[in-house]
């Protein structure tokens, strides 16, 4: 038999060689932990559909961000779970609303040890569960919603949020929020645009996490899962409007879109490994069908390999500990 000129498997023969030849690596600083903070909670409250994830009290959220900072991850993304909701999501702009209160508390707790970010969307705060203000005919009023987003942006920046995560998928939301921030002296507050956010079935457990009141769906403003080019177009629009970072969400089922956006973007591209992705791996691992640690690591690595500069994942702190252990 003639020996092939090159055998690719030579670079896979030992752990040290595989590590040296790896094209993509994970680092704790590239991970962001989503956190849910529930108004009035006195202790962490488990989320049934997301084993290991909780709705935090303020005290447990403080401990969680301290642990996250110690783990060396890049940041946390905060979501508020209010006790009272109304048609316009008043709690989102109330300085004493749970998200703004939590932001101030956690920024005070960790300072610059990690980046405290906030979700800028109305769905957690509205009694109808949509991401915006409803018109008389029941449709989401895009432009009226932008005005609420501007108010939210100022409230969140005032509370100390360093990065505002615009997840509502309203047309023109980046330009509107950027204008409001700049006009109110928050030129240094960054805008993370959830640019390619798809109307996905994988958000199901998240709605448990925020106790969503949504009836119907969000297909009139979130992207059609069949559309690849549209995700790139949305990202380009947000870049043109002044976004500092663009996002693809969900991550695992949209790696093609993520790769396309990463190829065209000259600003950072992030991806959100959403609740359904988390829940599926946890459920399969609990049944002994997959190796949990390997599946977690591989799922996040694939998102980085597709082009994400950072990944929002509920495994951020645990994964960071594994990565630190491996380096040691």
User: Is 90 noted as a catalytic residue in this protein?
Assistant: no
- Beta-strand ranges (E) seen in 144-240 are 163-166, 190-197
CA distance 197 to 221: 9
- Secondary structure of residue 223 in the 3-state scheme: strand
Say how far residue 97 (Cα) sits from the centre of its chain. 21
* Contact present, 246 and 193 (Cβ < 8 Å): yes
Which 8-state DSSP code applies to residue 227? -
Q: Which of 130, 218, 249, 304 is catalytic?
A: 249
Long-range contacts of 20-23 (CB under 8 A, 24+ apart): 23/305
- Do the Cβ atoms of 174 and 146 come closer than 8 Å? no
Q: Among residues 297, 203, 179, 217, which one has the least CA distance to residue 253?
A: 203
Q: Is 86 in contact with 315 (CB distance < 8 Å)?
A: no
Q: Cβ(298)–Cβ(258) under 8 Å?
A: no
How far from chain centre, in Å, is Cα 82?
19
**Rounded-to-integer distance, Cα 39 and Cα 92, Å:** 12
Name the β-bridge partners of 305. Answer: none
CA angle 275, 281, 282 (to 5 degrees): 85
Catalytic residue flag (residue 249): yes
302 three-state secondary structure: helix
The residue annotated as part of the active site, out of 197, 239, 270, 281, is: 197
Please list the active-site residues: 197, 249
């Amino acid at each position: 038999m003639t020996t092939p000129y090159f055998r690719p498997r030579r670079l896979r023969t030992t752990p040290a060689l595989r590590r040296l030849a790896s094209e993509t690596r994970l680092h704790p600083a590239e991970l962001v932990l989503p956190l849910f903070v529930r108004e009035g909670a006195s202790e962490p409250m488990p989320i049934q559909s997301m084993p290991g994830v909780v709705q935090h009290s303020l005290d447990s959220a403080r401990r969680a961000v301290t642990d996250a900072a110690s783990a060396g991850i890049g940041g946390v993304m905060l979501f508020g779970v209010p006790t009272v909701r109304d048609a316009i999501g008043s709690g989102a702009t109330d300085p004493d609303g749970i998200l703004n209160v939590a932001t101030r508390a956690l920024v005070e707790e960790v300072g610059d040890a990690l980046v405290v970010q906030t979700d800028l969307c109305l769905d957690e705060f509205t009694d109808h569960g949509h991401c915006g203000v409803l018109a008389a005919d029941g449709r989401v009023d895009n432009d009226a919603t932008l005005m609420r987003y501007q108010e939210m942006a100022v409230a969140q920046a005032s509370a100390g949020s360093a990065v505002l995560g615009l997840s509502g998928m309203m047309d023109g939301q980046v330009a509107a929020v950027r204008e409001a921030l700049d006009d109110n002296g928050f030129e240094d507050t960054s805008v993370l645009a959830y640019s390619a956010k798809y109307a996905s079935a994988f958000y199901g457990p998240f709605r448990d996490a925020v106790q969503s009141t949504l009836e119907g769906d969000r297909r009139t403003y979130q992207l059609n899962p069949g559309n690849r080019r549209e995700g790139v177009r949305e990202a380009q629009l947000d870049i043109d409007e002044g976004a500092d970072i663009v996002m693809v969400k969900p991550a695992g089922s949209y790696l093609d879109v993520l790769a396309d956006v990463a190829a065209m973007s000259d600003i950072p591209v992030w991806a959100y490994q959403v609740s359904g992705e988390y829940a599926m791996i946890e459920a399969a691992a609990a049944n002994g069908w997959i190796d949990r640690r390997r599946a977690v690591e591989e799922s996040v690595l694939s998102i980085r390999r597709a082009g994400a500069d950072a990944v929002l994942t509920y495994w951020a702190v645990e994964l960071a500990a594994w990565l630190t252990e491996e380096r040691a």
